[in-house]
Each structure stands twice: as structure tokens, then as C-alpha cells.
Amino acid sequence: MKQIVILGSTGSIGRSTLDVVSVFPDKFSVLGLTAGSNTELLLSQIKKFSPKFVAVPQQGSYEILKKELTGQKIELLCGVDGINAVAALSEADVVISAIVGSAGLLPTLSAIKAGKTVGIANKETLVMAGDIVMSEAKRSGSVLIPVDSEHSAVFQCLGNYEKRSVQKLVLTASGGPFAGRGKNELEKVTPEDALKHPNWSMGRKISIDSATLMNKGLEVIEAHHLFGFPAEKVDVLIHSQSIIHSMVEFVDGTFIAQLSRPDMKAPIAYALSYPDRLESVIPKMDWETLQSLTFRKPDMETFPCLGLAYDALRDGGTMPAVLNAANEVAVQAFLDRGIGFMEIPVIIKKVMDAHAVKPASDLDGIIEADAWARKNAAKEIKS
């Protein structure tokens, strides 16, 4: 029986993880949960899965939980330190890192420093501090299992092949709700339009990132750190059916691809059960009804966020953290109707252009760059 900790249990990935756990109660037990402000959902999860440890970031949520859980044998923790403590629990076998955004960095690092097997769905951790994260994983013996469907696919396709036999990693992208549209068609799109992803059910922030192709850009940076390939060896293809989740091209001209229905329960289950596989996690493919698989290069003129991510990766140092922070601020401004959809990459580029890159050698420098970028992005939005 594996003891599971879920960081961000009330988000999309956290809920799907608990769905998988509930189907296999003989294989997994929930040891700890952390969540943000959705205390109502968290309470229902606590009632169903009986974790021993729970942590929330805000005092208000803590007080509500404390009152509701009086008399129950649950250790309730609060604040960043409390979430970090749950992430590093000695009894945990697998930690699923599913906190959205930069808030996931410190808890994920805590799990890695504790030597845990980490199912990593929080891409911002690797985008902001990939060198530090991978170095800590090597030092502690922590095993990182990608939960993003694209990185899980690459992880499975690479297997035990030597790095020198790989020509390229090919990440696929659905293209989001605006695939194939031109710039003039995107000027007046609303948050509601951008949140309508055609294939995946995701949270609000990641849905907007998918619409701008920034999500794929962040995944390029994440793939660089996870698998050790430079920017020029990580390609992106628009594949609107979302059946092939990614591919690996080898030096002999052959490819290995990972295919399935677009359902996050598959990579989540693989991360939980690795190196084994669970039975009947998602419905099988109906090959007879699948009419076509199509591919095309992304339009980086219409969707410049992908190109900005490649630029940030090539610049290195603190630039990926700046890219990520400026994007988070710009996306929230769009969701709040403070800027238009096509202004998101404009804000990000202005902040990147103003940044003097420094080495990303320690967390303090990365956090400082993150704060600087947020401040400057907010200034650009006001202006």
C-alpha cells in the first residue's frame, strides 16, 4: 500500500488524483492533503479519504478547518511551513505536486530534498528553478515522474535509450480553443472564449496558457530540465486530436510515440504506480472510429508566447522565472478583464526586455527575479 501526499488536492490534477486513488483503495492510501482556499471541497475530501495530515496556506481556512475537524485525529497545519512539512512527510511514498503556479516551488523542493518520489504536475517549479531542482533530486535520490501528459509520454518513450541515440523530443499541442485562427480574430476574445478548451478539462490559469501556447512554452523549458536536451532539440507540433501526447525522434529516423485518449488520469496513474501499470484506468481507444491524426507547425507569429518561452530558455539564468511571473500576472489581468488576450504576450515581452539576466544559482535570486517581474508586469498593465 503506497502512502500518497497530494499538494493542491482541490485543483484539477488533485481531484483527478483522488479519483484514481478511490478506484484502487487496495493500492493507495491518502496520507496528506494540502489545498488553497476551497475549504468546502477540502472538507469533503478529508471526510472521504481520512488523511492524517492537512495543511492550508491561510489562517482563515485553518480556523474553519480547525472548527469543523474538532475531535478528529488529523494533524492540521497552516502557512508555507505547514505545507512544506506535509510535502516532506517521512511516511510518504509518493508526493503529487499539483499546486498551480509559483506557489508550488517551495513545497515541491521540500519533497525533493526529503528524497521522495515526486509526481510533478507543477511545471513552474522546473521553469523557475530547474537547475536547482534537478541538482537537489540528484543529491537526495528523489525520483521525478512527470504528470503532464506530454512529459509523461516522453518519459515513457525514452525508456532506457541512450541520450546519444535521440535526435529530438517532439511535444504535441492541441492548439487550444483558437487553433488555426489569425491575429485579427483574437483581438476581441473574452476569458469565457479562452477557457473553452476543446479536449482537456483544466483549471483557469492553465486553460488560458493553453490558449496562448504559453503552456507549451513552459513545457519546452520543463522538458529541457527533466530530460537534459537543449532548446533546439525540443520541438512542438500542433496535433488537434490530442491522441499522440508526445514523440521521441531517434537518430536513425524512427519515432516512438505514446497514444491514448486525452484523459489526465492516465499519466497520474502511471506516476502513482510507477514502474507498474494499473488496469483499466481510462477507456480504450476505438481505432475504427478514429478518422485522422493531423500535425502542423505552431504559428508563433499569431501566438508569440511559445517563442518567448524558447527565448527565455536560451537566455537562461533568471529569465525563465521572469517569463513565468510576468505570464501569471498578465493571465490574471486578462481573466479580470484588465487587458485583452493579445496583450498578454506584449506585457511579457516588455518585462523580459527590461530584465538584466542573472545566474539562477540560488532560490533567493530566483524569488527576487520573480518579485521584480511581477512588479514590472503590474506597472506595464497599469500603463
CA–CA distance, 310 with 320 (Å, rounded to integer): 9
Give percent above pLDDT 70 in the chain.
Answer: 99
Res 337 pLDDT > 80: yes
> Mean of the pLDDT values across residues 343-367?
96
CA separation for the pair 263, 279 (Å, rounded)? 15
Percentage of the chain beyond pLDDT 90 is 86
The yes-or-no verdict on residue 140 having pLDDT over 80 is yes
| Helix ranges (DSSP H) in the chain | 12-23, 39-49, 59-68, 79-87, 105-113, 123-140, 149-158, 191-194, 204-212, 214-227, 265-273, 305-315, 319-335, 343-353, 363-382
DSSP letter at 249?
E
pLDDT at 198 over 80: no
Strand partners, 270: none
pLDDT reported for residue 199: 67
CATH 1.10.1740.10, the chain: domain bounds:
316-383
In this prediction, residue 92 has a pLDDT band, given cuts at 50, 70 and 90, of very high
Residue 107's pLDDT is 96
Residue 201, pLDDT score: 64
State pLDDT tens for residues 29-67: 999 999 998 999 999 999 999 999 999 999 999 999 999
Over residues 180-191, the mean pLDDT reads: 87
Q: What is the per-residue pLDDT for 61?
A: 94
Q: What is the CA radius of gyration of the chain?
A: 20
The pLDDT value given to residue 183? 86
pLDDT at 242 over 70: yes
* Region of poorest pLDDT, from 74-88, 108-122, 175-189, 248-262: 175-189
pLDDT at residue 291 in the model: 86
Residue 359 backbone class (left: φ over 0; alpha: ψ -120 to 50; beta: rest):
beta
Q: Which of 83-97, 100-114, 188-202 has the highest mean pLDDT?
A: 83-97
Domain limits, CATH 3.40.50.720, in the chain: 2-147
Candidate from 156-160, 179-183, 296-300, 361-365 with smallest mean pLDDT: 179-183
Distance CA 89, CA 68 (A): 24
What fold does the segment set 2-147 form as a domain? Rossmann fold (3.40.50)
Burial code (b: 16+ CB inside 10 Å, e: under 16) for 59-84 equals eebbebbeeeeeeeebeebbeeebbb
What per-residue confidence (pLDDT) applies to 37? 87
Backbone angles phi, psi at 372, to 5 degrees: -60, -45
pLDDT above 90 for 256: yes
Q: How far is CA 234 from CA 27, 150, 337, 360, in A?
A: 35, 12, 34, 22
CATH of 316-383, one of 1.10.8.60, 3.40.250.10, 3.30.460.10, 1.10.1740.10: 1.10.1740.10
**Helices 214-227 and 343-353: crossing angle, nearest 10°?**
50
**302 pLDDT exceeds 80?**
yes
Look up the pTM and report it. Answer: 0.92
* Residue whose C-alpha is closest to residue 21's, from 98, 101, 125, 135: 98
Mean pLDDT of 178-202: 82
Residue 259 has pLDDT above 90, yes or no: yes
